[in-house]
Structures are given as C-alpha cells and as structure tokens.
C-alpha cells in the first residue's frame, strides 16, 4: 500500500495519525484508557505495525498518547498523580513543587466581551463562564487566575461542582465535559499590581507581578480556554527549558 504521490504528498503514517486523532476527538477512547494494541490497529487500518508505530510515536511526542511498555498505549490525561498541573511552570526557589492550596473566589456565567470572544473563536455577547481562583503555597497566595470558558462547552459548570473536585481543573474538564487541553500558548509580561490583585495576593499596590496569558487548545487547533494568571515571583519563578 502506497500513499498517493500527488500534490501535497502525505505519507501513510501521517494519514494513520490523522485517523487516530479523529477517533480521539470523537471520544472513542476516553482519557486515561488504553487504545488498541499496535498489531490490532495495523490490522484494522491494513498497514504494517511499523507504520502504526510511527504514527503513535508522533502522537506520544506531542503528549496526546502515553506509551507504557508491557501494558499498552493510553490516552494522555491531566488527571494523573504523576503529572499534576502539566501546564503550570511555577517552581519554588527552594525545594520541589509541593501540593498547592486552592481557593475558589468566583464562578459565574457572563456574556463574552469582544477581546475574549475573539481569542476563543466566539462572537461578542456569546455565553461564557468566568472563574476566579487563587493558588497558595504553604498558606500564602502565589497565583491569581482568571479563567474564561465557552458557555456552550461547559454547561453545568458551577461553583459547587468546582469546589467538590480534587486535582487540576483540566482533569475535571476531561471527565465531566469531555474537553481535552492538548496544547497551549502563553504570553508573558511583567505588570504592576492594581489595587484588586494586590489585595488578593497580599502584596503592595504597584508590586511587579508576572502576567501569564494562556490560550489552550483542544483537538483540531480549536481554542477552548483563555486564562490570565498573575504570579507573585518573590519566592517562586517561572521555569522554561529551551532546546
């Protein structure tokens, strides 16, 4: 079996990769579940195991799948112990990242202002969920997050639901709403604390804070969450690795 070598050539393994992504998007396999074995998939798609392997390799490199030797290949999830807060790059100056305390300040349904709607691919005035919360390290507030979500994807999201949940929000989003955050893009700036955020983070007005604006995407490059975090970087820092 050979890929059609016409314009915009795409090798077989990429086509297989596309089929796998489509099935993931369709929810055929839930987060944390195993997908069929390579041999099984190879049979289904009518290709060799090596071709399936290369497709899965790429999906694993992109953190959509997780391989475990001897056990199988699993749909990646944000809800696991090992990989808490996959997207949070905050590290304490001393020691390892221990558990962060959480404090939910607000959760309400709103109409999306234009600047948010634009980034989430919605129209201004569309339904939107707005969440505000604080993350604490050893009792001290370190992060103030404002989170905006499309209203149609998160219909039953309430303060009570969020409070009842343990672990990262992204885990809840997967299990309760079937929304998988698979990649994100952050814009980072230094800003001065205004009265509001200064009070919540217990710092003087005008203190320098790290502003982290994150747009998260699900399958098919569809943006599904906008988040603006204000980080107090006096005892923590944002860690980034470059290659």
Q: Site for a copy of itself (CB under 8 A): which residue of 188, 200, 219, 222? A: 188
CB 207 within 8 A of CB 193: yes
Determine if 21 is a binding residue for a copy of itself (CB under 8 A): no
Determine if 205 is a binding residue for a copy of itself (CB under 8 A): no
Neighbours of 83 (CB within 10 A): 13
Q: Distance of CA 24 to CAs 17, 70, 155, 179, 221, Å?
A: 11, 22, 22, 11, 14
Q: Site for a copy of itself (CB under 8 A): which residue of 29, 177, 219, 238? A: 238
- Segment contacting a copy of itself (CB under 8 A): 101-109, 136-144, 145-153, 235-243? 235-243
Determine if 68 is a binding residue for a copy of itself (CB under 8 A): no
Instruction: Report in angstroms how near the CB of residue 28 gets to DNA at its nearest.
Output: 15
> Which of a copy of itself, DNA, none has residue 233 at its interface (CB below 5 to 8 Å by kind)?
a copy of itself
> Which of DNA, a copy of itself, none has residue 158 at its interface (CB below 5 to 8 Å by kind)?
none
> Which of a copy of itself, DNA, none has residue 47 at its interface (CB below 5 to 8 Å by kind)?
DNA
Determine if 242 is a binding residue for a copy of itself (CB under 8 A): yes
For the chain, how big is the Rg over CA atoms in Å?
21
d(CA 149, CA 208): 27
CB 33 within 8 A of CB 180: no
Determine if 210 is a binding residue for a copy of itself (CB under 8 A): yes
Find all residues with CB under 8 Å of 68, minimum gap 6, and list them: 74
H/E stretch holding 59 reads helix 49-61
Size of the site for a copy of itself (CB under 8 A): 34
147 φψ region: left (φ > 0), alpha (ψ -120 to 50), beta (else) = beta
d(CA 184, CA 221): 10
Q: Site for a copy of itself (CB under 8 A): which residue of 183, 196, 199, 202? A: 183
Q: Which is nearer to a copy of itself, 2 or 164 (CB)?
A: 2
> Which of a copy of itself, DNA, none has residue 228 at its interface (CB below 5 to 8 Å by kind)?
none
Q: Distance of CA 17 to CAs 27, 54, 55, 127, 182, Å?
A: 15, 9, 5, 34, 15
Through-space distance between the first and last CA atoms of the chain, rounded to whole angstroms: 37
Q: Site for a copy of itself (CB under 8 A): which residue of 209, 218, 225, 229? A: 209
- Segment contacting a copy of itself (CB under 8 A): 9-17, 67-75, 99-107, 176-184? 176-184
Binding site for a copy of itself (CB under 8 A): 61-63, 86-87, 89, 91, 182-192, 206-211, 214, 231, 233, 237-243
């Amino acid at each position: 079996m050979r890929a059609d070598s016409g314009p915009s050539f795409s090798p077989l393994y990429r086509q297989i990769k596309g089929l796998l992504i489509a099935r993931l998007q369709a929810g055929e396999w839930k987060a944390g579940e195993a997908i069929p074995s390579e041999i099984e998939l190879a049979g289904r798609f009518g290709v060799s195991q090596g071709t399936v392997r290369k497709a899965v390799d790429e999906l694993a490199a992109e953190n959509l799948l997780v391989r475990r030797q001897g056990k199988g290949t699993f749909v990646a999830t944000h809800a696991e112990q090992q990989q808490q807060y996959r997207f949070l790059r905050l590290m304490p100056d001393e020691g390892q990242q221990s558990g962060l305390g959480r404090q939910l300040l607000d959760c309400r349904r709103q109409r999306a202002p234009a600047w948010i709607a634009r980034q989430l691919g919605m129209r201004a005035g569309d339904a939107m969920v707005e969440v505000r919360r604080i993350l604490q390290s050893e009792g001290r507030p370190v992060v103030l997050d404002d989170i905006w979500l499309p209203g149609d994807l998160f219909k039953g999201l309430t303060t009570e639901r969020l409070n009842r949940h343990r672990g990262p929000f992204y885990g809840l989003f997967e299990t309760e709403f079937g929304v998988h955050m698979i990649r994100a893009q952050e814009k980072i700036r230094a800003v001065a604390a205004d009265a509001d955020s200064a009070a919540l983070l217990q710092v003087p007005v005008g203190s320098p804070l790290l502003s982290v604006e994150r747009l998260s995407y699900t399958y098919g490059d569809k943006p599904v969450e906008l988040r603006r975090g204000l980080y107090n970087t006096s005892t923590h820092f944002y860690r980034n690795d470059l290659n």
